[in-house]
Structure 1
Amino acid sequence: MTPGKGENTHHDPIGQEQLPYRDPSLTADQRADDLVPRLSLEEKVGLLFCTVITIGEPGDHDSPGRFGEGSVRDLVEGKKITHFTLGELPSTEAAVRWQNAVQDLAAESEHGIPVMFASDPRHGFSATEGMTVASGGLSKWPELLGLAAIGDEELFERFGDIVRSEYRAVGISCAIHPQLDLVTDPRWARQLQSFGQDPDLVGRFGAAFIRGMQGSQLGASSVACMPKHFPGGGPQKDGEDPHFPYGKEQVYPGGRFADHLKPFEMAIEAGAPFMMPYYGMPVGLTLDGKPVEEVGFSFNRELITGLLRERMGYDGVVTTDFAIISDISVGGLEWPAKAWGVEDLSPEDRVLRAFDAGIDQLGGETATDVVLKLVQDGRLSEDRIDVSARRVLKVKFELGLFDQAHVDLDEAIATVASPAFLAEGQRAQARSITVLKNQGPLPLAQGSKVYLEGLDAEAASAYGLEVADGPEAADVAILRIGAAFEPRNEYFLEAGTHQGSLDYPQEMIDRVTELAASTPVVLDVYLDRAAILTPLEPHATAIVGNYGASHTALLDALTGRITPEGRLPMELPSSMGEVLKSSPDVPSDTENPLYPVGFGLSY
């Protein structure tokens, strides 16, 4: 057997392989029911955490983690935690060997509880730490907003199936996505990983993705989905993000709470075994005529137990968004706990409040000692711990992790970034390109002279274009830019979170104006959120939007080798003045948008 080609190496010195929880012929419910009473309190508490782990050298279990979370051995052996989210992966071989070595370590515990590795979205171009991971060695696709621009429900299911194949090949069995938040405020930073603004479409697309990831039911080849951010994270006051103290408030001036909730109802119907509430706290929200307490969703019993558990009938695992209990500092930048509405509580009381609300797992935390002390002090019952531990174990049994926790290196190498997956991803990138304006230059003719800013000259030449040294010598200038944002860097993660005004700086307007004076301009805009293109539009002969596209995928679309099919999944406002008059929870409610939702040209 080649190294990294794993058989399950659980060794049970007291004969536990004969116990019911080891019997794959039993149901997941039966196996979980058998195992929970056998576990120590420490083992059960460890199941109630899903945190970050730092990938190192295979078999190195003792180097400290990047975020102060402790070494692999500290987490797995010491704290009994067995659910981890991964950052950037090394090579496929190194990832497989490292994960198999961690599974070996977990197998040495008394009951051999396998590790469940989880991931934020990682098949696109975005790399916002703590929110998304760049695709690295996996196949590369447009972000979900781009797939929504194509609008093909079957494509979402196919994409989910490819993500599933590549995730399981490298040992990832839990997806901390899809993100089902509606894109209703043009300023919000998290639009790119959402499915657009229409609750019915977002629900259908999300359910299709979940089907692709999980199949008709969870099994040994499935990836368990964790839809987020319940009950819908889009309607943020002023479009700010609740990762940071100034973005804690979630508001519903348009009375559209039910619209934001609908995609989660459809995700539950699709069988999502996990659910992640958002950080934000609802302000001014009423349900059944009664005001909802203004505390973060993971601390909110009315919404987690009352709405999600009782009214919606959800009995899956509820995992909090990360770091709602403890303050952290990374690289000299502070990141206060997202304990919005309960900031004055101690960490112990925050934990108690979250479990009382109805959550099962604390995301991004390692404070198992706090939970243990709450039980020992009689403030949190062991019966309550058992309920959540059982839910987590049931998913692990359903995924087959107790029967085969290791992954096969040869299979991983054959699966990850296969030529077929790469080609499908590239085609989807090109198809998602949204043509907003075209006064003649598109599709670009063979032999056209092009001046490039932000586009690879070698790639352009390969498409039969002649690259000019300056705009004056070109038939057309192609300029790639992003949507505007306000640079910020007071808190950890803030620099990569694009927030604030959508107005472009004067330098960008001047640059487009200057280029247009020399030659026709084709403007390509990366729509990681809405952009106000009003001051640029008169100077551009053609404008296209992308949601994550390589140089070659963009050229496929600009030359017509692959027809761009994108239609805007959200509106592009005409001015910040109109944005400021709009309601954060209402889609497409700015007056006179420059480009309305659903807009897109063909050629």
Structure 2
Amino acid sequence: MTLEEKLAQIVGYWVDQGGEVVAPMQGEMAVSGRYEEATEHGLGHLTRVYGTRPVDPVERAAWLWGEQRRLKTETRLGIPALVHEECLTGLAAWQAATFPTPLAWGAAFDPELVERMGGVIGASMRELGIHQGLAPVLDVIRDPRWGRVDECIAEDPYVVGTIGTAYVRGLQGAGVHATLKHFVGYSASRAGRNHAPVHAGPREIADTLLPPFEMAVFEGGVRSVMNSYAEIDGAPVAATPEYLTGILRDRWGFDGVVVSDYFSVAFLNNMHAVAADKGEAAELALAAGIDVELPTGDAFLAPLAERIRAGLTDEALVDRAVLRLLSEKEELGLLDETFENPPTEIDLDTPEHRTIARQLAEESLVLLTNDGVLPLTGTPAVERIALIGPNGDSAEALMGCYSFANHVLAHHPGTPIGFEIPTLLEALKGELPSSAVTYTEGSDVEGDDRSRIPAAVEAARDASVAVVVVGDRAGLFGRGTVGEGNDVESLDLPGVQRELVEAVVATGTPVVMVVLSGRPYALDWAVSGPTAPAAVLQAFFPGEEGAPAIAAVLSGAVAPSGHLPVSMPRSAGAQPYSYLHPILGGSSEITSADSTPVLPFGHGLGYTTFERSRLESDAHVAAGDSFTASVRVRNTGSRAGTDLVQLYARDLYASITRPVAQLLAYRRVTLEPGEEATVTFSVPTTRLAFSDSAYRRIVEPGEVELWVGGSCADKETTGGVTILGPVHEVGLGDRRIATSEVRLSQADAELSAAGSN
């Protein structure tokens, strides 16, 4: 291969890039140049050929198949391009299904369902000739002020790891390579600011930020990783071999491809200022372990070629990257593909897509409070429902930042979304046809216009129940209230939405507040006190089937079963906060600042009640082995429901401070009224591993408190296990997951069998 042919294989080309800003500093960074000239020597990646503007998928597939044939027949090497797209909430393309945002995946606590979702997303992508998806995001939430919280799964690394790995399995099971992002530390930025410096110690990185990525590498077999934009303690990840080579490849044995986050190679020159020019930036990135520059070849083409010819950069760095990229293409079957017959009919939103989207949306809805007003079918008088609020009749409010509608179509006003997505107004009318539903906007999501609040108050006075729908509007870089680049200094609801809710509550009409958001807000005023609505339902951008799911929960046709994957913050000033804090990280009598969250991690109500009892575990376990813990769960209410069985632990004394609570295992369990089940967990002691004073990952002997309850703060039934020495040093990939088994009680099993005969 010539140098030009090598470099062509380790860059992307953004065919459709125009004025639509869908990446940071896109207008300043992108190279120009005719596509035919850029592909003269071949091409590594085609960047977002379906996902940059609204294109008909069949027509675009025909174009893509033609281009791939041209690359095979009209370039000297005959190597097709690898095609990548965003797929965080479904394939980010026109007419493709839009699923709940990852924060909703976390709220559902259902890895199996997320794996099914990944499978159907991957199948759609493969049908369109797409080979790589830029998802999932495995950043652990550290500060809800950060705009990209809706792209993340949870504040607990184990939940992020298990659910993110499930998505990897689903996507790759369909033949599409997943891409973990953003490796590593991106979400731990100072003050929750995007692209801000990260000051995380090696222990926080090892014990909190790295485990989800490690799990996806060892348990998921992921084939691609994307670097973080972050600089950690002054060292940009894109130029630091310690992370992209030392940890990822040398320690973990990852043998896939590392792609750059968009423009991050050039950023080494113009944002981090650790490289004097783009050629030097290219050398730093290659030496650190980045193999492919995306979305275009700003640094890896002309600047790098000039540097190599001048004898300043060793061409062996390029050879290493090229071999990795070619191996990936061979693994994906690209080298043997003939591209003869593009699809002539494509359905990117099949009934299967919608079934999964509906189930995941339903499971993700978190009932925060309820004084009995919900479900509405249980209320004597719901003849008149006043639907109020800026998100009550908005389809865009149901979708996250990386949905095609909010990511791309916002730049194409007048273009239809391309699939069915009812608003909550439409869904509520369909769900409760015997109720008269009226709609009043009340306010905008943003801004200080209060002129429509009086009309909302009058609508509430005339109603039996008022449903007030508030929250976010996802967007990018200042467009919207949450999403990439939309970081905030306050965790109050945007605009005058709180005033709207409080004015409606003051009418005396029972109020249900529905929060459609991409981050948890400080809702202490809505959880308790004189301004609190009768019920609060949290929805984290639930996707195309989100409105019917919300309507079904409000009506009672579906029982809520979601739980908070992130603590509900007290205030912006109490951030950053994590339930995984040591003793000194919580509230105490020696500080006047209270960091206690309004609602804890794992909180979620339903329409029935559960009793958890008789937590039993092995008395002793050797460090490095697994122990068994079982708990009885009984549905003590009058209707069926799903409980999230949460097993927590606290390492009482250790050589390094440990968190006051840590989720060890979880399992969703559905029970009929009066039904009881025993849930048994097999828990590796490596779930309690941490980095010692020498930064070895170890399991220490000692006493461990165990409990199960409705959240991390609820010790409903308790127990304990003693870990026996000697100290166990954890090996590679030994962050094993807990397994679980559900067994109905004998009487319940007999009743179930009798009922099925």
TM-score by length of 2: 0.63
Q: 2:315 aligns with which of 361, 365, 382?
A: 382
Q: 2:427 aligns with which of 455, 459, 465?
A: 459
Q: Which amino acid aligns with 2:293?
A: L
Offset from partner CA, 1:495-547 (integer Å, 9 cap, x none): 86343321235722211111112222211112312211123443321111112
Distance in 2 (CA, whole Å) between partners of 1:555 and 1:52 is 41
Of the structure 1 ranges 78-87 and 565-574, higher mean CA displacement relative to structure 2 is found in 78-87
Give the structure 2 partner of residue 364 of structure 1: 295
Distance in 1 (CA, whole Å) between partners of 2:88 and 2:242 is 33
Contact 1:433 1:566 survives alignment (8 Å): yes
**Pair 237,496 (structure 1): closer, same or farther in 2 beyond 3 Å:** closer
Give the structure 2 partner of residue 129 of structure 1: none
**Pair 572,460 (structure 1): closer, same or farther in 2 beyond 3 Å:** same
**How far is the alpha carbon of 1:398 from its aligned partner?**
0.9
Q: 1:82 aligns with which of 45, 56, 66?
A: 45
- SS for the counterpart of 1:481 is strand
Distance in 2 (CA, whole Å) between partners of 1:522 and 1:42 is 62
**Pair 252,374 (structure 1): closer, same or farther in 2 beyond 3 Å:** same
**Pair 401,240 (structure 1): closer, same or farther in 2 beyond 3 Å:** same
**How far is the alpha carbon of 1:494 from its aligned partner?**
8.6
Higher relative contact order (CA 8 A, sep 6+): 1
Give the structure 2 partner of residue 426 of structure 1: 358
1:471 maps onto 2:460 in alignment: yes
**Pair 443,151 (structure 1): closer, same or farther in 2 beyond 3 Å:** same
**How far is the alpha carbon of 1:68 from its aligned partner?**
5.3
1:578 maps onto 2:536 in alignment: no
Distance in 2 (CA, whole Å) between partners of 1:47 and 1:353 is 18
Give the structure 1 partner of residue 486 of structure 2: 497
Distance in 2 (CA, whole Å) between partners of 1:171 and 1:66 is 27
1:119 maps onto 2:51 in alignment: no
Q: Which amino acid aligns with 2:606?
A: S
Q: 1:318 aligns with which of 242, 245, 258?
A: 258
**How far is the alpha carbon of 1:341 from its aligned partner?**
3.8
Give the structure 2 partner of residue 209 of structure 1: 167
Alignment of 1:140-289 (within 5 A): 140-215=98-173, 221-242=174-195, 247-252=196-201, 255=204, 257-269=206-218, 270-283=220-233
Q: Which amino acid aligns with 2:277?
A: S
Offset from partner CA, 1:447-506 (integer Å, 9 cap, x none): 54211233243332211232136222112222222259999749xx99863433212357
Q: Which amino acid aligns with 2:112?
A: E
**How far is the alpha carbon of 1:40 from its aligned partner?**
2.1
Structure 2 unmatched ranges of 5 or more? 19-26, 394-424, 440-458, 587-593, 608-757
**Pair 364,486 (structure 1): closer, same or farther in 2 beyond 3 Å:** closer
**How far is the alpha carbon of 1:424 from its aligned partner?**
1.8
Q: Which amino acid aligns with 2:384?
A: K
- SS for the counterpart of 1:184 is coil
**How far is the alpha carbon of 1:55 from its aligned partner?**
7.6
**Pair 592,585 (structure 1): closer, same or farther in 2 beyond 3 Å:** closer
Contact 1:183 1:194 survives alignment (8 Å): yes
Alignment of 1:342-353 (within 5 A): 342-343=273-274, 345-353=276-284
Offset from partner CA, 1:110-168 (integer Å, 9 cap, x none): 122112111122535xxxxxxxx756422221112211211112112111111111111
Q: Which amino acid aligns with 1:544?
A: L
Give the structure 1 partner of residue 385 of structure 2: 450
Give the structure 2 partner of residue 436 of structure 1: 368
- SS for the counterpart of 1:349 is helix
Distance in 2 (CA, whole Å) between partners of 1:513 and 1:296 is 46
- SS for the counterpart of 1:503 is coil
Of the structure 1 ranges 148-157 and 64-73, higher mean CA displacement relative to structure 2 is found in 64-73
**How far is the alpha carbon of 1:182 from its aligned partner?**
0.5
Distance in 2 (CA, whole Å) between partners of 1:435 and 1:198 is 20
Distance in 1 (CA, whole Å) between partners of 2:338 and 2:311 is 35
Offset from partner CA, 1:195-251 (integer Å, 9 cap, x none): 212222221222221111113xxxxx5101110111242211111111xxxx23343
Give the structure 1 partner of residue 3 of structure 2: 41
Q: Which amino acid aligns with 1:600?
A: G
Distance in 2 (CA, whole Å) between partners of 1:532 and 1:177 is 29
Give the structure 1 partner of residue 540 of structure 2: 547
Contact 1:296 1:340 survives alignment (8 Å): no
Q: Which amino acid aligns with 2:470?
A: I
**Pair 266,556 (structure 1): closer, same or farther in 2 beyond 3 Å:** same
Q: 2:249 aligns with which of 303, 309, 313?
A: 309
Q: Which amino acid aligns with 1:473?
A: D
**Pair 325,391 (structure 1): closer, same or farther in 2 beyond 3 Å:** closer
Contact 1:203 1:267 survives alignment (8 Å): yes
**How far is the alpha carbon of 1:307 from its aligned partner?**
2.3
Q: 1:600 aligns with which of 589, 594, 604?
A: 604
Q: Which amino acid aligns with 2:191?
A: D
Distance in 2 (CA, whole Å) between partners of 1:563 and 1:159 is 21
Of the structure 1 ranges 45-54 and 75-84, higher mean CA displacement relative to structure 2 is found in 75-84
Contact 2:41 2:76 survives alignment (8 Å): no
**Pair 352,66 (structure 1): closer, same or farther in 2 beyond 3 Å:** closer
Distance in 2 (CA, whole Å) between partners of 1:511 and 1:338 is 47
Give the structure 2 partner of residue 14 of structure 1: none
Contact 1:225 1:272 survives alignment (8 Å): yes
**How far is the alpha carbon of 1:53 from its aligned partner?**
3.3
Distance in 1 (CA, whole Å) between partners of 2:198 and 2:334 is 39
1:559 maps onto 2:492 in alignment: no
- SS for the counterpart of 2:210 is helix
TM-score by length of 1: 0.78
Give the structure 1 partner of residue 76 of structure 2: 110
Contact 2:29 2:263 survives alignment (8 Å): no
Give the structure 2 partner of residue 92 of structure 1: 57
Distance in 2 (CA, whole Å) between partners of 1:408 and 1:481 is 47
**Pair 68,195 (structure 1): closer, same or farther in 2 beyond 3 Å:** same
Give the structure 1 partner of residue 720 of structure 2: none
- SS for the counterpart of 1:305 is helix
Please tell me whether Structure 1 or Structure 2 has the larger radius of gyration of its CA atoms: 2
Contact 1:89 1:95 survives alignment (8 Å): no
Distance in 2 (CA, whole Å) between partners of 1:410 and 1:52 is 23
Aligned sequence identity (%): 27
Contact 2:148 2:483 survives alignment (8 Å): no
Contact 2:368 2:605 survives alignment (8 Å): yes
Q: Which amino acid aligns with 1:362?
A: E
Give the structure 2 partner of residue 73 of structure 1: 36
Distance in 1 (CA, whole Å) between partners of 2:203 and 2:243 is 19
Contact 1:47 1:392 survives alignment (8 Å): yes
Offset from partner CA, 1:571-590 (integer Å, 9 cap, x none): 0111223226x479969967
CA RMSD, Structure 1 to Structure 2 (Å): 3.2
1:534 maps onto 2:524 in alignment: yes
**How far is the alpha carbon of 1:354 from its aligned partner?**
1.2
Higher strand content, 1 or 2: 2
The aligned length equals 518
Distance in 2 (CA, whole Å) between partners of 1:386 and 1:194 is 35
Distance in 2 (CA, whole Å) between partners of 1:556 and 1:405 is 48
**Pair 267,488 (structure 1): closer, same or farther in 2 beyond 3 Å:** closer
Q: Which amino acid aligns with 1:511?
A: L
